[in-house]
Amino acid sequence: MSGHECDGGLPLCERDPGEIAAGASLVLWGFRYRAGLMRQDKPADARYHAAFIRNGVASAAYTLEALTWLIGTTAIRSVDVRCVACPEISPDEAALLDSCARAAAGDGDAAALEAFLPPTSMRFARSYAIGIAVCLRDVGLGWNAIGRALVPGKRLAPESGL
């Protein structure tokens, strides 16, 4: 997985303001944080798990970790994963969020991940996306509308509390 490091204020990251829902924000932060640790060959740490525990979705941390590992080890191309401070959402991150949003809505269509995952990984990716979405939905952490609200360029809430 590729990424960039920034302080969230570099011109590369400047876009029109907009926020994503709490569930999507948590998943995006977790994906970015875990991918960053993977790039450094480090396991998930207490900070990663604490964010999910604080939000009442500890099991989602493990499912997202499995999905991140699946993407990081089976992707057919480099996946654009930004740093946790970056307010811009990459097209690949938007695909992950779209898959989880569809799963939360009962669709379960993870086709957006086909842009970078081989067919053999898609069954697992779909199961993980559903697991994450159900866990977050059960505690009331919301998702944006499928597709249009999760386009690249949307920004994270400035004070996400993660």
pLDDT bin (cut points 50, 70, 90) of residue 127 is very high
Q: What is the number of domains present in the chain?
A: 1
Instruction: Say which range, 25-39, 46-60, 129-143, has the weakest mean pLDDT.
Output: 129-143
Task: Tell me how far CA of residue 126 lies from CA of 61, 89, 144, in angstroms.
Answer: 16, 21, 18
| Residue-level pLDDT at 17 | 34
| Residue-level pLDDT at 84 | 87
| Residue-level pLDDT at 12 | 36
Does residue 134 form part of some domain?
yes
Does residue 160 form part of some domain?
no
Does residue 86 form part of some domain?
yes
Residues 40-69: what's their mean pLDDT? 94
Does residue 12 form part of some domain?
no
| Residue-level pLDDT at 107 | 72
| Residue-level pLDDT at 2 | 64
Does residue 3 form part of some domain?
no
Average pLDDT of every residue of the chain: 79
User: In 3-state terms, what secondary structure has residue 121?
Assistant: helix
Residues 54-62: what's their mean pLDDT? 93
Q: What is the pLDDT of residues 2-35, one digit of tens each?
A: 665 554 433 333 333 356 778 888 899 999 999 9
CA-CA-CA-CA torsion sign (145, 137, 60, 120): negative
Does residue 162 form part of some domain?
no
Better-scored residue on pLDDT, 4 or 124: 124
Residues 42-47: what's their mean pLDDT? 92
Does residue 8 form part of some domain?
no
Q: d(Cα 128, Cα 134) in Å, to the nearest integer?
A: 10
Does residue 111 form part of some domain?
yes
Q: d(Cα 2, Cα 47) in Å, to the nearest integer?
A: 22
| Residue-level pLDDT at 14 | 35
Task: Tell me how far CA of residue 70 lies from CA of 50, 113, 149, 155, in angstroms.
Answer: 22, 11, 25, 25
pLDDT higher than 80, residue 113: yes
| Residue-level pLDDT at 68 | 97
Q: d(Cα 51, Cα 29) in Å, to the nearest integer?
A: 9
In terms of residue numbers, what domain contains 115? 18-150
The whole-angstrom distance between residue 56's C-alpha and the CA centroid of its chain comes to 17
Contacts of 148 (CB under 8 A, 6+ apart): none
pLDDT higher than 80, residue 45: yes
